[in-house]
Structure 1
């Protein structure tokens, strides 16, 4: 249940192990965070321990899937976190000298080497963290491409426009009144935590997070890596330490960035356009509209790094994803019946970590 990236990866893991899968999604196509994201497979900045281990395993799985399913758009493009101030550089120097930097595939490079890796970075900066293990996929087409691959096995059935209303000992019943037999039920509901989820699981330790993003017209040159700015040092847990404390104390974010808990992430799509974001909103009820000031800030930062104007914006959107309230927890797994498990709450790690999360789920339940 759930046609997003987490549900689709669980379907893949089940089919991989020889099982037959019926995959239900309440919308005609996945419409949530799985398509409203950067498509980043992001190893850099992950917290030591389970989060980093999950991201590294997921990176391996994404690479293998990319070879078998070209339609995912997987590419090992790496990333550059661009450092524009001495305080940001100090955080990066300590991080790059850390004991696990090599395992992450991360090192500190000067501006000349950064521009060798990504010639599109013509703005002024002091250095960059180069992470060769970061990668990207195409979020708008990844799930359909993987489903087509699964369908070719003859053991996978995709049923969109079907909302599960009941879980019983024999499977599930949908809102068409049809019953689907299943020995195991996996509910990958994303940010949909009311209705059936509340009925069978009760309150779950998961919150919802809202973001704003945008996509430009094609850039007339390759952006050969994904790009992050120094504010991402404030967001990702691996950078925490006294140097980050000094950055926060002595170099506060601009007011709009602080208000919307912003960082810059930027990745080029297959058509040449740039996906640029993002904001983080934690207080519900979320607004139904998007506000312009964060987009203006993102444009200014992106143009400063590129040293040129951005192409015109083609699309703007908001999205909501589910995040464990204990942000050190990679995902929330809960057995909600003898034959059923709820899997949700990966937060901003969902696109990155979903292959490894699914692998761990099926191993834990013995598929």
Structure 2
């Protein structure tokens, strides 16, 4: 619980994950008084359980717009808050001709500013992938990387130093216009923003049901490995090319998906995204699988971890991967990428519903806060879910 006894703010934000913090950043930059409320003892959810990969290039449509706006804000925040950030882009390793075709078609769609095609030797110069596993590859120069275990906490500390109040271990019981009811009493606010990721159904169940929000669980590991050199950037594989909307727009992606499904039905059943990042301490983050439901059981099957480790051994050509940690992530999943609902005047319910909150949240928050507070903004949010009601 924060020590400040103040109870009236311009903006009350429910949820201290990266999307909630993003709204606090946007509001505080506009000179508004802000309080952040969260039922946990600290930032413990999806915001610290991910790759730390800001996958800007692979997005499409509104997600791409939010991602591009987020990029500049991430760069500014890293400088202000002093957390680790790499501008090394993303390397994609193509292990087959159809994966190369997707990359070539994506280059034709986006151009050289977004993607630089690499031959096998150039891929090997950038990442320590086994030479016999490389057909070709690409470099996505605009992507960024942070350490998720550091970044969210550093942003929260920077906000606190700038006057934002935080109240952790403060369960929100209900929201009405101008007031947030908590287990520690009410907080008064001109505007309330609810950013509780997959727990929308705890406060606004009809919005969650109407939007089709489920929980998406995932399996990830942190390992120590003697790679043949550092992993200089996040690393994508063919499985990533059939996951992100920017790549799936290509005509070649459908054939690649069909081939992967036919050759690896066991991996497809895991809804795999085979990708890797390396933390500043050298630990290699490996992931990830995906499974969805209204509730996610805490029991993680060992076969999923076995598959992730086997793929990493094969790709990097190493036999010794020493598992340091395993964990389960949970985030909101829905047919649309974003939920921005207005259940009451001056109340917004916001969630990123495709697991790209780190990538897009800062840009999304700018739009939401601008729509609420900018007197010169002539255009309201165009996201179709803004009209959803909590009735």
One fold, TM greater than 0.5?
yes
TM-fit CA distance, 1:259: 0.9
Tell me, yes or no, if structure 1 residue 276 matches structure 2 residue 283. Answer: no
1:86 aligns with 2:97: yes
1:238 aligns with 2:266: no
- The alpha-carbon deviation at position 212 of structure 1 amounts to 0.9
- In the alignment, what sits opposite 1:50? 62
Query: Structure 1 residue 284: deviation in Å?
Result: 4.3
CA contact (8 A) 2:124 2:131 kept: no
Report the equivalent of 1:355.
362
The yes-or-no answer on 1:33 pairing with 2:55 is no
Residues 77 and 224 of structure 1 are in contact (CA less than 8 Å); yes or no, is this contact kept in structure 2? Answer: yes
TM-aligned CA distance change 1:291 to 1:349, over 3 Å: same
User: SS at 1:60's partner residue?
Assistant: helix
1:196-241, CA deviations, whole angstroms, 9 ceiling, x for partnerless residues? 2227x46340232111111113656421111111111111122234
Structure 2 residue matching 1:184: 3-state secondary structure: strand
Instruction: Give yes or no for contact 2:86–2:144 (8 Å, CA) kept in 1.
Output: yes
One of 303, 321, 330 as aligned partner of 2:313: 303
Distance 1:123 1:267 in 2: 19
- Alignment partner of 1:145 is 2:157: no
SS in 1 for 2:238: coil
| Deviation for aligned residue 1:173 | 1.8
Verify the 8 A CA contact 1:256 1:297 in the aligned structure 2.
no
CA distance in 2, matches of 1:320, 1:245: 28
- Distance in 1 separating the partners of 2:124 and 2:259: 28
Name structure 2 gaps, 5 residues minimum: 1-13, 375-391
Report the secondary structure of 2:142's partner residue: coil
> What are the Cα deviations for residues 113-146 of structure 1, in whole angstroms up to 9, with x where unaligned?
122223x223421111211111111111222211
Q: Summarize the Cα distance change of 1:70–1:41 in structure 2 as closer, same or farther, 3 Å threshold.
A: same
Cα distance in 2 for residues equivalent to 1:279 and 1:292: 12
* Match of residue 74 from structure 2: 62
Q: In structure 1, which of residues 182, 202, 207 is the aligned counterpart of residue 214 of structure 2?
A: 207
Residues 194 and 112 (structure 1 numbering): CA distance in 2 closer, same or farther, change over 3 Å? Answer: same
Give the superposed CA RMSD. 1.9
- Structure 2 residue corresponding to 1:325, chosen from 309, 331, 335: 335
Cα distance in structure 2, aligned partners of 1:301 and 1:204: 38
User: Is 2:104 aligned against 1:96?
Assistant: no
* Distance change in 2, residues 1:256/1:361 (3 Å): same
Report which of the two has the higher share of strand.
2
Normalised TM-score (structure 2): 0.86
Are 1:170 and 1:181, in contact at CA under 8 Å, matched by a contact in 2?
A: yes
Find the residue that maps to 2:324 and give its secondary structure: strand
Aligned residues: 356
1:112 is aligned, of 103, 121, 126, to 121
The separation in 2 between residues aligned to 1:18 and 1:285, in whole angstroms, is 39
With normalisation by structure 1, the TM-score equals 0.91
Out of 254-263 and 276-285, give the one that drifted further.
276-285
Q: 1:76 aligns with which of 87, 99, 116?
A: 87
Matched, 1:197 2:210: no
> Structure 1: where are the runs of 5+ without partners?
none
Q: Distance in 2 between matches of 1:218 and 1:65?
A: 31
CA distance in 2, matches of 1:168, 1:292: 44
Distance 2:145 2:320 in 1: 21
Tell me if the contact between 2:96 and 2:135 (Cα under 8 Å) persists in the aligned partners.
Answer: yes
Match of 1:224 among 225, 232, 240: 232
Q: In the alignment, is residue 312 of structure 1 matched against residue 322 of structure 2?
A: yes
Contact 1:110 1:128 in 2 (8 A): yes
Asked if 2 retains the 8 angstrom alpha-carbon contact of 1:219 and 1:272, the reply is: no
